[in-house]
């Protein structure tokens, strides 16, 4: 049920952090993985350790680059079974202080690119009648980030949650499932400063009933469930993996 042998996956933001972990997990389940990011050296290092990981340098905000990514993947493998829309970024600025260009760019990376790549990948998936798209949202897409100011991030991740529902309904009849994962606070390169800051640690522990950060491997099960045939009757859903943050 969780065997991905022979399947082809694309993972964005795969050069570090959770994205790198996602690429490894799908590879270890048997998939061929096209690992996408801007940092070519890191992608090549990842590919050197895994025989079925193919590095592909691309900026997710570049429309031409994303089309080339899908075209190259289809030329090489003839199919795309799984997409993990993981690439993302965040700022921490108050609404009255955030520059509009910064706000727009965050939405370009976190939301517009998710829509663009999902649409590009859905075309070949719909032709074969099967596919799984997993968008990486956030608990901040389900509620305010207060007292931490994160207007552009919360707006973009909230958009991912709603976009997941919309695309799921549009493509369900064609056999393409679209779901999302909303992680809580996890130890990763992106949260390195938080993990090293006593005040941030206290904030996370206070708001998380399990009283700790998550570890990257604790997302493996959610990813495998949504990417594999274990979830063939599940679409349009956002799975929270947050140590209980959104439960109270």
Q: Could you give the residue numbers annotated as active site?
A: 153
Distance, in Å, from the CA atom of 90 to the CA atom of 41, rounded to the nearest integer, reads 23
Strand pairing partners for 55? 35
Strand pairing partners for 131? 176
Structure tokens, 215: 């570890």
Taking the CB of residue 176, how many other CB atoms lie within 10 A of it? 25
Nearest CA to 139 among 158, 113, 112? 158
Q: Euclidean distance between the first and final Cα of the chain, in Å?
A: 33
Question: Omega before 139 cis (within 30°)?
Answer: no
Phi/psi of residue 20, nearest 5 degrees: -60, -40
Distance, in Å, from the CA atom of 45 to the CA atom of 227, rounded to the nearest integer, reads 24
Structure tokens, 86: 């993981």
Taking the CB of residue 91, how many other CB atoms lie within 10 A of it? 15
Strand pairing partners for 9? 33, 82
Q: Are strands 238-241 and 53-57 parallel, antiparallel or unpaired?
A: unpaired
Taking the CB of residue 122, how many other CB atoms lie within 10 A of it? 20
């Amino acid at each position: 049920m969780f065997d991905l042998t022979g399947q082809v996956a694309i993972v964005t933001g795969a050069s570090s952090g959770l994205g790198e972990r996602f690429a490894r997990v799908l590879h270890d389940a048997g998939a061929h993985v096209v690992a996408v990011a801007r940092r070519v050296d890191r992608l090549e290092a990842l590919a050197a350790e895994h025989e079925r990981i193919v590095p592909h340098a691309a900026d997710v905000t570049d429309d031409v680059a994303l089309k080339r990514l899908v075209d190259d993947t289809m030329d090489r493998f003839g199919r795309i079974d799984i997409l993990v829309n993981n690439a993302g970024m965040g700022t921490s600025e108050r609404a009255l202080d955030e520059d509009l260009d910064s706000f727009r760019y965050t939405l370009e990376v976190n939301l517009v690119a998710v829509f663009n790549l999902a649409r590009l990948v859905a075309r070949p998936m719909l032709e074969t009648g099967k596919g799984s798209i997993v968008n990486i949202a956030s608990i901040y897409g389900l509620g305010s980030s207060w007292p931490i100011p994160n207007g552009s991030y919360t707006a973009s991740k909230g958009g991912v949650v709603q976009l997941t529902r919309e695309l799921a309904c549009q493509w369900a009849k064609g056999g393409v499932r679209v779901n999302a994962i909303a992680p809580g606070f996890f130890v990763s390169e992106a949260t390195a400063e938080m993990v090293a800051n006593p005040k941030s640690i206290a904030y996370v522990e206070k708001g998380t009933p399990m009283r700790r950060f998550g570890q990257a491997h604790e997302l493996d099960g959610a990813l495998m469930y949504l990417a594999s045939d274990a979830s063939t009757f599940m679409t349009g859903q956002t799975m929270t993996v947050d140590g209980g943050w959104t439960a109270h």
